[in-house]
Chains A and B, each alone.
Chain A
Amino acid sequence: MPEGVGAAAAGSYPALAKNPRLMPKAYPIARVLNGSRGMPAFKSELSDEQIAAVVAYVRTHFGNHYSDKISLEDVKALRQ
């Protein structure tokens, strides 16, 4: 959604913007890797580098300020 605000209808997409659940980095890494409910998994589409980059981006944009580094090891550890 524009500006990461999320959207709601019959179900909803949570907002990326100002979302405290992004604080522990394992949470967004696991979501992007393995998907969740209707959200597809990206573990076969994206490399560890790409996933680290996506997660680092959302954690430092849309009003999020979690600037601790996402390492490749962080991603590797959560790959199922």
Chain B
Amino acid sequence: MTTRMNPLEAPGMKRRDLLQMIGLIAGGSALYNAMSTLGFAADSQYAGPLTLSGAPAGTKVVVLGAGWAGLIAALELRTAGYNVQVLDYNDRIGGRAWTLRGGDVYTELGGETQRCDFDPGLYLNPGPWRIPYHHRGVLAYAKRFNVTLEPFIMVNYNAYVHSSRHFGGKPKRFREIQADFHGHVSELLAKATHKEQLDAAVSREDQEKLLAALRSWGALDENYAYKANFDSAERRGYEVNKGGGLMPPPLPSTPIGLSDLLNSNLWMALNSGQIHQWQSTIFQPVGGMDMTPKAIGRELEKLITLNAQVKQIKQDEKGVTVSYVDSRTGKDPRQVRADWCVCTIPLSILSQLDINVGAPMSAGINAISYESAVKTGLQMKRRFWEEDEAIYGGITFTDLPIGQIAYPNTSYNKPGKGVLLGTFAFGDAALSLTGMSPRQRVQKALDYGAQIHPQYATEFENGISVGWHRVPGAMGCAAAWDSQLEAVHYDNLAQIDGRIVLAGDHISRGLSGWQEGAVLSSLDAITRLHKRIVNS
């Protein structure tokens, strides 16, 4: 059999050669389109390293914010030849890409100060904590700055799904719920097929294939029934697992009945790992999410002013003046004068600053509220989830206000301590927790979490909690876009307004709260800004 040639492939020409040629002739966007056609890049709009050059001599850009968007803007604009200065409110680089480690001190809005007492090597990522395989922009910068990645376990078949109101409040293993849900659905569909109820929708020939698929997918027996046997046990687990020698023989476990399963709502937890943004392979940086921003920040160190609280952003025909004070004291007013401004300040804060942009952008800045989220890290004396329960990384989902319990995706099977994510709450639950003191939030994480892991009572050592509406430099987790807001405000926020362009995850479609949103927004904003500058 001869290999069918790609119609785009000229004889003797490799695909990579072709792509290079297209890139040289037609530029980046054509290259991207060609890559998409060939099935390489369809998953990401990251179009490869930015190669801006030819900044007019002496042109200055002030970048507001040293999170992902600001750092990328500063890095790439500096490379293009601009004179760049970065201001950030915090005393650290990275913005919401933030990691709390032992010794860190964090004061939240409301004035409460927490000291992180984690042991060396242990940490909490209060903000983003995972990087999907198709977030090619973030991955490219992590690679460029030599940041080591490791797998983030999104789906752990042995972690729990938990309903406080069903099965006596006892958690079930993910594999049990998934196997039983697939099994029961397959059995039902097979029954309907046998009763000729699908004849109108599926041809007789296809029905044979469908039945074979259902039997395989649902672990059905030869009569298309889902029941306790070794086939279903291979999916949901064993009552007595396999052994050696004179150990007892294996015994299958008993599936949960369909009605109990449906009523428990536990099936709601099955899809998370199947959703594009959470599909495997998904990563975390070794040592904490701030590793890449910090590495970029080291390269830009001389350009960055920390502890700078922006008060006013005022543009005129010739440039932009940014007024700021020392964020620790509120004193020491200073100004930066630049030709252009890339502003990555979250809208939750930008909407409170004095900035003279046009009415459409201003309306957008004021229109977007911010999502609520809470994360709480709990240091435990031992890794009991591994030692007692064979849970290595991943996430337990619960209907309790803590939302999730996540296990460290690193240092598996090692003796010693570990830090659990004891709360990952959104929405109303997060707002309610954010209203509490840090100490109360940690206590809630312990009280609720002990319903799933009673070991909390004896193993807990210390904890730290971050409610995003109390984070001084963010005042919220991420911009809460919906399709209506997007239709009215999105383009207005993304356009260059005079000498100011906004960037950040809040100016991304569907990537709000994701680092990739900040990267792609920043790359797009500075590419347009550069074009505007060299053409003006």
Q: In chain B, residues 380-422, which have Cβ atoms closer than 8 Å to a Cβ of chain A?
A: none
Residues from chain B with a CB closer than 8 A to the CB of A38 are 346-349, 351-352, 369-370, 469, 475-476
Q: Which residues of A are in contact with B by a Cβ distance under 8 Å?
A: 1-2, 7, 9-13, 35-41, 45
Looking across the interface, which residue of chain A has its beta carbon closest to that of B428?
A45
Q: Does B28 contact A (CB under 8 A)?
A: no
Say whether A11 contacts B369, CB under 8 Å: no
Looking at the complex, which one of A7, A9, A10, A37 makes contact with B369 (CB distance below 8 Å)?
A: A37
Q: How far is the CA of A41 from the CA of B480 in the complex (A)?
A: 10
Say whether B369 contacts A12, CB under 8 Å: no
Q: How far is the CA of A19 from the CA of B348 in the complex (A)?
A: 22
Taking the closest CB of chain A, its distance from the CB of B439, in whole angstroms, is: 12
A-B pair count, CB < 8 Å, reads 62
Q: In chain B, residues 207-259, which have Cβ atoms closer than 8 Å to a Cβ of chain A?
A: none
Taking the closest CB of chain B, its distance from the CB of A21, in whole angstroms, is: 16
Say whether B349 contacts A10, CB under 8 Å: yes
Say whether A11 contacts B110, CB under 8 Å: no
Chain B contact surface mostly: loop
Looking across the interface, which residue of chain A has its beta carbon closest to that of B351?
A37
What size tier do the contact residues of chain B reach?
A: 20 to 34
Taking the closest CB of chain A, its distance from the CB of B17, in whole angstroms, is: 50
Contact digits for B33-68, partner A, Cβ 8 Å, 1 yes 0 no? 000000000000000000000000000000000000
Q: How far is the CA of A10 from the CA of B353 in the complex (A)?
A: 9
Taking the closest CB of chain A, its distance from the CB of B125, in whole angstroms, is: 21
Q: Does B281 contact A (CB under 8 A)?
A: no
Say whether A12 contacts B480, CB under 8 Å: no
Q: How far is the CA of A12 from the CA of B309 in the complex (A)?
A: 12
Say whether B480 contacts A40, CB under 8 Å: yes
A-B contact pairs, 18 of them (CB 8 A): A2-B437, A7-B109, A9-B109, A10-B89, A10-B345, A10-B472, A10-B473, A10-B475, A11-B351, A13-B109, A35-B369, A37-B347, A37-B348, A37-B351, A38-B369, A38-B469, A40-B372, A45-B428
Q: How far is the CA of A57 from the CA of B370 in the complex (A)?
A: 24
Looking across the interface, which residue of chain B has its beta carbon closest to that of A37?
B351
Say whether A40 contacts B369, CB under 8 Å: yes
Taking the closest CB of chain A, its distance from the CB of B474, in whole angstroms, is: 8
Residues from chain A with a CB closer than 8 A to the CB of B109 are 1, 7, 9, 13
Looking across the interface, which residue of chain B has its beta carbon closest to that of A46?
B428
Residues from chain A with a CB closer than 8 A to the CB of B309 are 10
Q: Kindly list 14 other residue pairs between chains A and B, CB separation below 8 angstroms, not including A37-B348, A37-B366, A38-B349.
A: A7-B109, A7-B110, A7-B111, A9-B472, A10-B327, A11-B349, A36-B369, A37-B352, A37-B369, A38-B347, A38-B348, A40-B431, A40-B480, A41-B369
Residues from chain B with a CB closer than 8 A to the CB of A40 are 369-372, 431, 480
Say whether B347 contacts A11, CB under 8 Å: no
Shortest 3 CB-CB contacts between residues of A and residues of B = A38-B348, A9-B472, A37-B351
Q: How far is the CA of A10 from the CA of B427 in the complex (A)?
A: 23
Q: In chain B, residues 98-123, which have Cβ atoms closer than 8 Å to a Cβ of chain A?
A: 109-111
Q: How far is the CA of A45 from the CA of B426 in the complex (A)?
A: 13
Residues from chain A with a CB closer than 8 A to the CB of B351 are 11, 37-38
Given A38-B476, A40-B371, A41-B369, the answer on whether A1 and B349 have CB atoms closer than 8 Å is no
Taking the closest CB of chain B, its distance from the CB of A38, in whole angstroms, is: 3
Taking the closest CB of chain A, its distance from the CB of B126, in whole angstroms, is: 16
Taking the closest CB of chain A, its distance from the CB of B333, in whole angstroms, is: 16
Q: How far is the CA of A32 from the CA of B429 in the complex (A)?
A: 17
Residues from chain B with a CB closer than 8 A to the CB of A12 are 352
Residues from chain A with a CB closer than 8 A to the CB of B349 are 10-11, 38
Residues from chain B with a CB closer than 8 A to the CB of A39 are 369
Taking the closest CB of chain A, its distance from the CB of B385, in whole angstroms, is: 33
Q: How far is the CA of A44 from the CA of B304 in the complex (A)?
A: 42
Q: How far is the CA of A33 from the CA of B258 in the complex (A)?
A: 40
Q: In chain B, residues 428-485, which have Cβ atoms closer than 8 Å to a Cβ of chain A?
A: 428, 431, 437, 469-470, 472-476, 480
Given A37-B369, A38-B369, A40-B370, the answer on whether A2 and B110 have CB atoms closer than 8 Å is yes
Residues from chain A with a CB closer than 8 A to the CB of B428 are 45
Q: How far is the CA of A35 from the CA of B469 in the complex (A)?
A: 14
Which among B89, B351, B475, B476 has the highest number of chain A CB atoms within 10 Å? B475
Say whether A11 contacts B371, CB under 8 Å: no
Residues from chain A with a CB closer than 8 A to the CB of B353 are 11
Contact digits for B345-383, partner A, Cβ 8 Å, 1 yes 0 no? 111110111000000000000100111100000000000
Q: How far is the CA of A22 from the CA of B13 in the complex (A)?
A: 73
Residues from chain A with a CB closer than 8 A to the CB of B472 are 9-10
Say whether B348 contacts A1, CB under 8 Å: no
Which among B351, B366, B369, B370 has the highest number of chain A CB atoms within 10 Å? B369
Q: How far is the CA of A38 from the CA of B469 in the complex (A)?
A: 9
Taking the closest CB of chain B, its distance from the CB of A49, in whole angstroms, is: 16
